[in-house]
Amino acid sequence: MTYPFGAVVGMDDMRLALLLNAVSPAIGGVLVRGEKGTAKSTTVRALAAVLPSVAVVPGCRFACDPAAPDPACPDGPHEPAAPAQTRPARLVELPVGASEDRVVGSLDLERALTEGVKAFEPGLLAAAHRGVLYVDEVNLLHDHLVDLLLDAAALGTAYVEREGVSVRHAARFLLVGTMNPEEGELRPQLLDRFGLTVEVAAPRDPAVRAEVVRRRFAHDADPAGFGAAWAPEEASLAARIADARARLPRVVLSDDALRQVTAVCAAFDVDGLRADLVTARTAIAHAAWCGREEVTEDDVRVAARLALPHRRRRNPFDAPGLDDDTLDQALEDSRPEDAPDEDPPPPDGPGDGGTPPPPPNDDAGPGPGPDEGGYRDKGSPEGGEEAAGAPAREKAAVAPSDPFRARRLEVPGIGTGVAGRRSKARAERGRVVGSVRPSGPVTRLHLVDTVLAAAPHQVARGRSGPGLRIAREDLRQATLEGREGNLVLFVVDASGSMGSRARMGAVKGAVLSLLLDAYQRRDKVGLVTFRGGDAELALPPTWSVEAAAARLRELPTGGRTPLAAGLHRAAETLRVERVRDPQRRPLLVVVTDGRATGARGSDAVGAAHTAARRLADAGTAAVVVDCESGPVRLGLAGVLGAHLAARTLRLEELAADALAATVRSVREAA
Ligand SMILES: [Zn+2]
């Protein structure tokens, strides 16, 4: 029993965005961003129940409309006067780990080649036609699949092609994605292809929170009774959607309203005209939803708040949101001359929206030091351990220098991990490197090898005319090599040995650059730091490069250099992660000048080298980034690199164009 859509409280923007798309699917879907536990999924799943039901041709697996069947329907052609059957609109969930075949459907190549039959098994896109396609954790879906989904959503068609055999069918659906930004961002290129985005957070108003809990209790105690109590509300929402859909074609977007749309888009400096189109469509849908046949300034305001925030983000580290003052100003400036000077109305939703902005951090403690904030930080200054041999006082965190485009560091060999952009891997996509006998159904046929396998048997099979006789045992599956994402675990020396603040800034800038690179290559990242008495897992492996960047910025520095402890902590982290995510190969990036210090009389350097050899013996791929600077170089990082069986790069060599720069400087010197 799903939770009734009408009973959802405190999610006004999200509900409105979903309803407007239900009225006008041309808006292009909804992306919902928010932390865990905000009932995002519950709300999406509740939507299907209030969508108008659809008439379908009985038996058609592609949900053809009897009034206008898809001429290309693989189950067609349907008779013109095909009987109709009415069923509820569907909500289809796409699991993050789905294969491409599962999503677009699969062609049975075996039957195509051996029997000459074009057999197509519909995928999730076919199932979602005329309904809702929902992807939870859409930020974790591989880019290629997200692209594919957004293309289908934009064209209203799914297309599958394998070795010259192709199938096309209608696939129009309302695409809804939900994600928790703390687990990593969606790439900006994909972000802007969702029609609308909304940010959700748990409501702050205690009365609203109480109502959420009250309804949840009532629902869990008696789901059927709760559903029945809300049935009239559900029915009236469904009727209102149907009504608004019918009104939609009559809604007028006047020149004045259009000018406001374009003025707002220009004020927020969005790329291209896509934003203008989506904003206009949303404003029209909102007018229809409100029972009006003309778009008003209020419709434009609501549309801009839903359609623009994600279109102006340039950097994954920028904060989302839309500045209300800029919006008001743009609307006012573009208002027609003779219009009354109205006060901006509060944002309108199906409930009464307009929650006040969150209060600025209201529980800032009395701690005046530079290290405030709630980070777990075992090496914080309170500990007396610093006193021993480390005169270095706690300093304010050093700001990182500007990030640069980093060169690709990769894990040697060929992995089998999830698709990404770092190390070589056996993959679902990529270049063909060979073929094997298929262990299951053939998904990527290696045509040449199949023909070569069939050729010797042609006489025995009694071939007379043109055309090969191909049998099942001839079929060869292509082996593809693409790239995988990895776990990049940084081990960063934050001790006093790293010298000047400028040097530490450069180190942080370099790690930040590698983090940006990891974001683009779909890697998981983790951060181990060591300084003072111990090493700390400052960030357990995560998708969130933002979290890693934040930890890095605040990283305190100074004190002793327990390099061995850092390596031990890294080994332990990798061991746990190998259990959790065995296919993902790790790459250790040790950022250090190679020095190690410990308690008096201990052999800190020897201990570090032993730890390094243990990592190398376990087959851990590693790179050492040498941070040593100054006129006298000891080359200790290189020695550590040898023990790790790792390549050692100087900090300056990390930039993608470092080689070109070096060549240039050598030429200039000559
Ligand atoms: Zn059909």
Task: Kindly indicate the confidence band of residue 382, based on its pLDDT and cuts at 50, 70 and 90.
Answer: very low
pLDDT of amino acid 361 = 39
Task: Name the pairing type of β-strands 174-179 and 132-136.
Answer: parallel
Residue 140 CA to residue 96 CA, distance in Å, equals 7
Candidates 651, 531, 536, 635; CA nearest to 589 is: 651
Token reading at 284: 């029209």
Alpha-carbon separation of residue 439 from 141, 435, 442, 479, 512 (angstroms): 26, 12, 8, 12, 43
Nearest to 443 by CA among 165, 665, 218: 165
Virtual torsion, Cα 655, 659, 662, 667, nearest 10 deg: -150
pLDDT of residue 313: 52
When pLDDT is cut at 50, 70 and 90, the band that residue 314 belongs to is low
Q: Which of 48, 193, 239, 245 is CA-nearest to residue 131?
A: 48
- 112 CA from centroid of ligand 1 (Å): 21
pLDDT computed for residue 496 by the predictor: 66
357 DSSP 8-state letter = P
Ligand 1 center to residue 118 CA distance, Å? 16
523-534 residues labelled b (16+ CB within 10 A) or e (exposed): bbbbbbbbbbbb
**515 CA distance to ligand 1 centroid (A)?**
48
Tell how far the Cα of 79 is from the centroid of ligand 1, in angstroms: 10
Type of residue found at 585 = R
CB 410, CB 464: distance < 8 Å = no
Six-digit token string for 308: 């623009």
Residue 242 reports pLDDT greater than 90:
yes
Q: How far is the CA of 72 from the centre of ligand 1 (A)?
A: 8
Average pLDDT over residues 358-375: 35
Mean pLDDT of 19-42: 90
Whole-number Å distance, alpha carbon 142 to ligand 1 midpoint, is: 30
Q: Which residue has the higher pLDDT, 415 or 659?
A: 415
H helices present in 248-323, as ranges: 255-267, 274-289, 297-307
Residue range 188-216: average pLDDT?
86
Tens-digit pLDDT profile for residues 472-499 = 888 888 888 888 889 999 999 888 666 6
- Among candidate residues 169, 171, 173, the one with its CA nearest the CA of residue 78: 169
Has residue 82 got a pLDDT over 80? no
Mean pLDDT, the chain, whole residue set:
81
Lowest mean pLDDT among 376-380, 403-407, 577-581, 596-600: 376-380
pLDDT at position 120 over 80: yes
Mean pLDDT check: name the lowest of 72-81, 380-389, 656-665: 380-389
* Helix, strand or coil, per DSSP, at residue 614: helix
Q: Residue 83 C-alpha to ligand 1 middle, in angstroms?
A: 12
Using one digit for the tens of pLDDT, what is the confidence trace for 401-424? Answer: 777 788 888 888 888 887 788 888
| pLDDT range class, residue 355, cuts 50, 70, 90 | very low
The pLDDT value recorded for residue 561 is 87
- Kindly tell me if the per-residue pLDDT of 76 is higher than 80: no
Using an 8 Å Cβ cutoff, are 411 and 585 in contact?
yes
- CA–centroid distance, 351 to ligand 1, in Å, is 39
Residues 6+ apart with CB under 8 A from 453: 473, 474, 475, 476
| Cα–Cα distance for residue pair 148/74, rounded to 1 Å | 20
pLDDT for the residue 436: 86
Contact 524, 488 (CB under 8 A): yes
Give me ligand 1 centre to Cα 430, in Å: 33
Give the bridge partners for 626, in sequence order: 592, 650
CA neighbor of 640 nearest in space, from 573, 602, 594 = 594
Taking the centre of ligand 1 as the mean of its atom positions, its distance from the CA of residue 29, in whole angstroms, is 24
Task: Label residue 147 exposed, middle or buried (CB < 10 Å: 0-12, 13-18, 19+).
Answer: middle
What whole-number percentage of the chain has pLDDT above 90?
A: 32
- For residue range 537-570, list pLDDT tens digits in order: 888 888 777 778 888 888 877 778 899 999 999 9
Q: Is pLDDT larger for residue 595 or for residue 192?
A: 595
Residue 295 confidence class, pLDDT cut points 50, 70, 90: very high
Res. 75: pLDDT tops 50: yes
Which residues participate in catalysis according to the annotation?
Answer: 274
Residue labelled with tokens 């409501």: 203
Regarding predicted confidence, which is higher, 622 or 631? Answer: 622
Mean pLDDT value of segment 78-88: 84
CB 400 within 8 A of CB 550: no
Q: Distance, CA 62 to ligand 1 centroid (Å)? A: 5
Position 367: which residue type?
A: G
Q: Residue 68 Cα, ligand 1 centroid: separation in angstroms?
A: 10
Gap between the Cα atoms of 658 and 175, Å rounded: 43
Q: What is the pTM of this model?
A: 0.64
Centre of ligand 1 from the C-alpha of residue 457, in Å = 40
Protein residues placing their CB within 5 Å of the ion ligand 1: 60, 62, 64, 73, 75-76
Which of 227-236, 249-258, 358-367 is least confident?
358-367
CA of 106 to the centre of ligand 1 (A): 17
Please say if the pLDDT value at position 327 is more than 60.
yes
**Phi, psi angle pair for 476, to nearest 5°:** -125, 130
Cβ count near 633 (within 10 Å): 13
The residue count for the chain: 670
Return the pLDDT at 9.
84
Give the end-to-end CA distance of the chain in Å, rounded to a whole number. Answer: 78
Burial status of residue 360 (CB atoms within 10 A of its CB: 0-12, 13-18, 19 or more): exposed
